[in-house]
Structure 1
Amino acid sequence: MSEWFSGNTINGILNLWETPNNHSKCQQNPLNILNYHVQEWGTRALEVVELMFNSDSSIGIFTEVGELWKDFTIPHFKSFYQKGTNSKGGVVVAVGKHLKATHIDTNIENTVIVDIEGLTEQIRIIGIYWPQSGDFNASAQEWQSPVTDARCNQLKKWIEKNNSLFIPGTKNSSKRSERHIDLIFTNIEDAEAETLNTGTSDHWPIVMKSDRIDFQTNGNFPAVSWIVSQIVL
């Protein structure tokens, strides 16, 4: 038995497999936030998971999720939900479990507020869906839409009061018109947004990115020696 445990055996191989790599370093990861008007979670749950992981997003904001949102959750994410005024409404904010999320209670339907810690600075996420209209559904020429409507004036007052900036996507978010109705506002000055050419909803997904706000991963996890693990497996 002593020869078995002292030699290059399974016990030794497993120890080697789980030996931390002293050369591993901390890594800063930029914050990505996915925004998607899903049009009912039940039919697009797997699509949402794929979008989250392909866009490397730590936070997701999903509107018009419907009543089936509990039937499928995103792996390694914690979800916060607020019901809507009808069966198709509702909002979900999903936060990766590597971050600390605190849900702010509110009685406002179709609105989810979550405070996020674990980043270089704390942020607050507010996901809003306006029933009968869908998301903000406010049009403004300065917000990438062909015309400006009355609803936009209400929204402008709100964002000015909260010292927020509009973050344009790389194209309009509606697939059925030239309007850009999925709107992102933030006070993160370096934030940018990319509109993704994918998804089966009639809205294009948008990923907001910030290099200034990020989170850290460290090298304290066991480093896998793939040559050894190939032998073990």
Structure 2
Amino acid sequence: MTALLRYQTGLLLRSQRWLAPLLLYAAFLGVGVNVGEPVLGALGLTSAALLPVTAWSVRICATQEPAAARNVVAAAAGRGRAHLAALVTGAALPVLVGAVAVLAVTATGDRRGVTALAATTTGLLAAVACALTGAVVGALVSRPFVRAPGWSFAALVLGSLLALVTTGSPAKHAMTALITGARTATADPPWLACAGAVLLAAATAIAACRATARLE
């Protein structure tokens, strides 16, 4: 699995396709987050912006291989394992970038009434919840479920929006915790949202890998 992750990471970095979602995330933060604003509100936007960015990144990794190369890798390592490596690679980069952003926002935001540790913990858990929810969206709108590029991207946009506003979504639960905390100046780490996102992402990855093995 380590070799597959290195292979997928190398493909992603050499293709420079990671630049587009990264620049989108930077634009979200540049427009929506200001130095010195209440930290929990800023962390809410920092985390929420990760959802569409991660969905886009996962879609890129799931579709970046040429068909011939994909068949060679599948023959060597198994189609399901190869697809899992693509999904993990697509989610890992936004999670790392989001963690750095959370630390930066916590360091520069107004933490009155909230300790640095509480703000950091809350922000990191919310970021993971949103990123993994975005990974679920990205996995469901790419191969083997949606093959047409146009429909795939349209589904990505719609799925990302629904994941942020639908009751029961881990991302919405995490955002609600941050919004409530911003109003009361009380950090409430969204442990349940993060755990739910982990379980949802794992179940989606299993389903996607099994579908890939059967349909491709």
Global fold match (TM > 0.5): no
**Greater share of residues in helix:** 2
Decide which structure has the larger Cα Rg and report it.
Answer: 1
**Greater share of residues in strand:** 1
Bigger RCO (CA 8 Å, 6+ sep): 2
